[in-house]
Amino acid sequence: MSFKRFPSLTIYPNPLVWSVYSTRSMFAIASRAVKRLAVRSPAGAAPMSSIVSQIPVPTSPTPDHPGEPEAPKIVTSTIPGPKSVAALERISKIQESGAVHFFVDYEKSQGNYLCDVDGNTYLDLFSQISSSPLGYNHPAMKEAILDPKNFTLLMHRPSLGNLPPADWVDRIERTLLAVAPKGLSQVQTMMCGSCSNENAYKQAMIWYMSVQRNGRAPSQEELETCMLNTTPGSPNISVMSFNGAFHGRLFGCLSTTRSKPVHKLDFPAFDWPMAPFPKLKYPLSEYARENAEEEQRCLAEVDRLFREWKQKRPVAALVVEPIQAEGGDNHASPVFFQGLQRLCKEHGAAFIVDEVQTSGGNTGLMWTHESWNLPTPPDAVTFSKKMVTGGFYYADHLRPKESYRIFNTWMGDPTKIVQLEAVVKAIKKDNLLQGMSIVGNYVQKGIEALEKAYPQVISRTRGMGTLIAFDCATPALQGSMIKRLRELGVEIGGCGSQTIRLRPALTFQPKHGKVFLEILEQAIREAAQTM
Ligand SMILES: Cc1ncc(COP(=O)(O)O)c(C=O)c1O
């Protein structure tokens, strides 16, 4: 197979894309690396004397998935295998497709195991960029899709803002309202994470400007100048976000994304303020004082920015992820987030929590911000990914007074609410959130033990539930570790410049954690030998 048709991106060093793990480059690397692929089927790859096998495997309430494989199985000598390569050649003729890992046999995939078209079976630690809540072919999902009561919804694509289906409110009550963050009962569905953030920002700005107008109607001048994209109708107000933040790729939210140039290069952006996000030292117990000081430093800077920008572009809203995901799985303590909310209140800005990646259960909570013990709910909480549908909750004062101010053709997708209902039921019936805490705790302990044994390879193990990450010694090692794990049958993700992140489905059990830890140990041991 010639790779000439897939000109490789140079991953290192290229300031634009160096941390984006391109499949084309993986292609080239894989073809070389697979020659040294000793272990075809990595089940039991780690010897019994391994570090991770010393850690007791806990029991969890999460039920087994019927028909799920026992272990990953790699049967091709290259990854992607020849059928994926052929399909990739075809798709490359019609679209840019450098990010494709391999083509998937979704019918064959079961539970936490993803099957590719070449017959390889991977343990899935990434769940479709953290967005597949129940894994593959979950019985509850199948039941929902096959239920005749849902057929009509599957058949139509209503414009929900104009013509909602008869049972729409019932469905929202059984899903989004049944699991709503404490204190928030207004909710708007949307299509994806970016458009959820984009519309939450707009809604916050409508509220902010109505406060500035002090109840008066928009002036004629405002109505005319907004059509010219100038003040006062298009006001000079801003959204503050954080260094390392990721809030999506549409124009508004992209101006608050600060993770990597690949997302931002060549696009005009709003001139909006960026605050520092704390960079915590690990283990947390050893650096309590330094980390508290770091968080106070960042809060002081947020306060300073609010004041500075009041003069040029007042901050209407501040947006923050509970755990910065794409930016490198950066955590902060509840004290930091409480401080942010306090500053927003002091400066009259909306406090928006972007839970696109942290909601829906991976952290052991439906809503990660509920671990902060805020005195009042955030003004808006955005979601997507494991919540299946995009959307946002908001406090009553953020509710727009006029129709069509927050609007688009579909305003979400009712078929996603059908799926979400199956997810919500399974979470409750199978105690999946408790399961996430149990397996997360076990896997984190395992990675910490590996970090202790191989500090030259990995560091800064951190996590909440199964939303776990660790740093590799170098950015290059991040790339080669992800590649090696895939060769050993684990699909996993990277983030930041040298971080590896785990984002399994909510059905991930300790037995899957054990398989993963054994494979990770092998990959880390191999990496140590090359250092
Ligand atoms: C925290 C966060 N916000 C927003 C987004 C954007 O979501 P989408 O890719 O669905 O537009 C993402 C996607 O990864 C995210 O992680």
pTM (predicted TM-score): 0.92
Atom of ligand 1 nearest to the CA of 250: 11
Checking 155-158 for CB contacts under 8 A at 24+ apart, the result is 157/410, 157/413, 158/410, 158/414
CB of 441 closer than 8 Å to CB of 432 = no
Task: Report the share of the chain in percent with pLDDT over 90.
Answer: 90
Closest-CA residue to 359 (of 381, 330, 380): 381
DSSP codes of every residue in 43-98: TT-S-TT-SGGGSPPPP-SPPPPTT--SS-B--SSSSS-HHHHHHHHHHHHHS--T
Q: Which residues contact 130 (CB under 8 A, 6 or more apart)?
A: 325, 357, 362, 385, 386, 493, 503
Q: Do the bridges between strand 350-354 and strand 315-320 make them parallel or antiparallel, or are there none, so unpaired? A: parallel
Instruction: Tell me the pairing of strands 490-491 and 121-124.
Output: parallel
The reported pLDDT for the residue numbered 40 is 38
Average pLDDT over residues 181-207: 98
Is residue 354 among the annotated active site residues? yes
Of 356, 367, 495, the residue with max ligand 1 atoms within 8 A of its CB, to mutate for a pocket test, comes to 356
Average pLDDT over residues 440-464: 98
Nearest-CA residue for ligand 1 atom 7 is 193
Does the beta carbon of 356 sit less than 6 angstroms from any atom of ligand 1? yes
User: 201: Cβ below 6 Å to ligand 1?
Assistant: no
Least confident of 11-25, 165-179, 287-301, 326-340: 11-25
From ligand 1's centre to the CA of 325, what distance in Å?
A: 9
pLDDT at residue 215, rounded to an integer: 85
What are the residue boundaries of the structural domains of the chain, listed by start?
Answer: 23-40+51-139+431-529, 192-211+239-407
* Average confidence score pLDDT of the chain: 92
For the residues 516-526, what does the mean pLDDT come to?
98
> Would the CB of 194 count as within 6 Å of ligand 1?
yes
Residue 14 pLDDT greater than 70, yes or no: no
Q: At CB < 8 A and 24+ separation, what contacts does 167-176 make?
A: 168/414, 171/414, 171/417, 171/418, 171/421, 172/417, 174/421, 174/424, 175/417, 175/420, 175/421, 175/424, 176/387, 176/389, 176/391, 176/393, 176/417, 176/420
Paired residues of 382 in beta bridges: 354, 392
User: How much is the average pLDDT of 187-215?
Assistant: 97
Torsion angle, CA of 84/88/90/93, rounded to 10 degrees?
180
Judge if the beta carbon of residue 392 lies within 6 A of ligand 1. no
Q: Tell me, which fold does domain 23-40+51-139+431-529 have in CATH?
A: Aspartate Aminotransferase, domain 1 (3.90.1150)
pLDDT of residue 49: 67
Q: Closest Cα to atom 4, ligand 1: which residue?
A: 247
Q: Would you say residue 24 has pLDDT above 70?
A: no
Q: What are phi and psi of 157, to 5 degrees?
A: -130, 80
**How far, in Å, from the CA of 250 to the mean position of ligand 1?**
10
State yes or no: is 189 an active-site residue: no
Predicted local confidence at residue 7, as pLDDT: 30
Catalytic one of 358, 368, 385, 416? 385
pLDDT at 436 over 60: yes
Residue 118 CA to ligand 1 centre (angstroms) = 30
| Strand positions, DSSP E, 193-308 | 238-242, 274-275
Confidence bin at 507 (pLDDT 50/70/90): very high
Q: Measuring CA to CA, which residue among 485, 443, 475, 483 is closest to residue 462?
A: 443
The burial of 162, by beta-carbon neighbours within 10 Å (0-12 exposed, 13-18 middle, 19 or more buried), is given as exposed
**Structural domain 192-211+239-407, CATH architecture:** 3-Layer(aba) Sandwich (3.40)
Taking residues 76-104, what's their average pLDDT?
A: 97
User: Average pLDDT, stretch 123-127?
Assistant: 98
Local structure of 321: helix, strand or coil: coil
Q: Of these residues, 124, 354, 413, 430, which one is catalytic?
A: 354
**Is the CB–ligand 1 distance for residue 294 below 6 Å?**
no
Atom of ligand 1 nearest to the CA of 192: 10
pLDDT of residue 5: 32
- Catalytic, 108? Answer no
Residue whose CA is closest, atom 9 of ligand 1?
193
Amino acid type, 227: M
Q: What is the pLDDT of residues 144-155, one digit of tens each?
A: 999 999 999 999
266 is an active site residue: no
